[in-house]
Structure 1
Amino acid sequence: MDIIPSRVLPLDTNKVASLKDQTDPARKLHAQAEQAAEQFETMLAQQMIRSMQSSLDNGNMFGAGTAGDIYNGLAEWELARIITRSGNLGVKEQILRQLPKEEEKAK
């Protein structure tokens, strides 16, 4: 059996799909909305954590002073990101569900 040479190169369909996502304005807009909704949910979670932290006796897990404030802020932000990525708050999903309804109202 002879192998017939072909000029067709192998094609990575994942890369083609990602190029389509980049060129489709609706998909790009949806990705931006999803990112903004996630950032909003993270900020909301951080504010809730900060509020809970203030109920502690010293108001800070890492002690008083500038270093304690810095570490506390980093810990709050990271915990908020973990909570957001777990999807348990559901704020991001609610925002993304509401956006098409708001777009229809605007038309």
Structure 2
Amino acid sequence: MKYWIYLLIAILFEVMATSALKASAGFTRLWPSIMVVVGYAISFFAMSLALEAIPVGIAYAIWSGIGIILITAIAWVLYRQQPDIWAMVGIGFIIIGVIILNLLSRVEVH
């Protein structure tokens, strides 16, 4: 269970860092730039811990899939970047893929 918590931490800090990228204005603004660097550092560290028990392909699919969904929602709220119908369809496929990986995949760590 703790490895899934590490994955959740990795996802949340990656989302925080990616969300701060736009606000950093090309790393010209101090605090958003610090959020980017610290967020990615914590995210990658937590991901490295999660990979001790979760297969890399599964972890990365979940990490990137949930990250895409959360970043899209945050961009919609903070930056008024409303996704069109095809973006929503694509995100729907990502959600379906993450569900399939979690429910049906039997990949193991060696």
TM range (shorter): under 0.3
Instruction: Please state which structure has a larger fraction of its residues in helix.
Output: 2
Choose 1 or 2 for highest CA Rg: 1
TM-score by length of 2: 0.26
TM-score by length of 1: 0.27
